[in-house]
Amino acid sequence: MWFLYVSIVVFNITAVFVKKNLRPNEFYVSILSGLLVSSFADRFTDKYNIYGLFDLYFIEAKSLLIYLGIYPAVTVLIIGIPLIVH
């Protein structure tokens, strides 16, 4: 669990200090659409019991920390860093 906390702190600090080339609303739209697609995928796999790992009636703290702590920061890092193409 400590690795999760350290990862959240490192990714969020890096996302705050990286140079951003897009407007903030483009980041928000990207983060929210990524969370929406992830939520749909989790609901689909839960409905058909594909993974067999999900419990219907409760949200694990670890998965909530990953969704709200790591996904937005990684999205900002992936979208915000320009690709160098020669």
Q: What is the pLDDT of residues 39-66, one digit of tens each?
A: 888 788 777 776 665 555 666 778 788 8
**What total number of domains does the chain contain?**
1
Q: Given this model, what pLDDT does residue 1 score?
A: 86
Show the domain range for 50: 23-80
**Is position 68 within any domain?**
yes
Q: Which two tokens stand for residue 38?
A: 């992830």
- Give pTM, 2 decimals: 0.68
CA gap 49, 34 in Å, rounded: 22
CA gap 46, 44 in Å, rounded: 5
